[in-house]
Amino acid sequence: MNMALVRGCNFPDDLYYNVDDNVWARRESDGTVIVGMTTYGCALSGEIVAWTAKKVGRAVDQNKSTGTVESGKWVGPVKAPVSGEIIAVNEAAVALPSTINTDPYGAGWLVRMKPSDWIGESGLLLSGQAAAEAFEAKMQTEGFPGCA
């Protein structure tokens, strides 16, 4: 898989990113969307100790919360990159939240959604080189030293 490396944080090229909220979306062949946190978001939060997702069946608007992530120094929402219905929650990440840190683009995914307007809303997300440049700018602004 091709990926950009920005200050030690990797960003796979095949994902769509909401840079401000540090979340990614991956469109599956069946039209559903997997959502997770970026390596950058995981580095900022530190070891995640809890992932509390909204229930399957809930409709969530773009940029609204799909659930709450908590670490020793951070509690906050994971915002939906696009609007849609939550159709699955990664129970493995609920049971072992540190999976989100160790494999944020794989086993540490958070929810699967059925998007209501992927074509219309995904245009607001960034991918590839544009995402890498936006993350670099964000890290510069926030004084982020880099992923360990």
Partner 1 sequence: MDSLKLLAGIEPLQDIVLDATLVREMQCAAGTTDDGIDFYTPSFKSYATSEIASCGKSAWPAVSITGPDCKLQCDHCKGRILASMIPARTPEELWRVANQQIEHGARGMLLTGGSNHRNEVEYDPYYSTIRQIKDAFPEFRIALHTALVDRDMAQRMEDSGIDAAMMDVIGAQETITQVYHLKRSVDDFERTLENLVATRLKVVPHIVLGLHYGHILGERVALEMLRRHQPSAVVLVVVMPFYAPAHRPFGVPDSLEVGRFFLDARLALPDIPLLLGCARPAGQAKAEIDAYALMAGLNGIAHPADGMVELAARLGRKARIASVCCSVAVGGEMVAESRLWAKSGALSIPA
List residues binding partner 1 (CB under 8 A).
Answer: 46, 49-52, 55, 64-65, 68, 70, 72-77, 97
17 or 51: CB nearest partner 1: 51
Report the SS3 class of residue 95. helix
DSSP string, 23-41: EEEEE-TTS-EEEEE-HHH
| Shortest distance, position 68 Cβ to partner 1, whole Å | 7
| Shortest distance, position 106 Cβ to partner 1, whole Å | 22
13 or 20: CB nearest partner 1: 20
Residues in the chain, how many? 148
| Shortest distance, position 31 Cβ to partner 1, whole Å | 27
18 or 127: CB nearest partner 1: 18
Alpha helix stretches (DSSP H) within 81-126: 91-95, 98-102, 118-121
Residue type, position 84, single letter:
G
- Calpha distance 118→122 (Å, rounded): 5
| Shortest distance, position 141 Cβ to partner 1, whole Å | 12
19 or 132: CB nearest partner 1: 19
| Shortest distance, position 3 Cβ to partner 1, whole Å | 27
**b/e code 48-86 from CB counts within 10 Å (16+ = b):** beebebbeeeeebebbeebbebebeeeeeebbbbbbbeb
15 or 89: CB nearest partner 1: 89
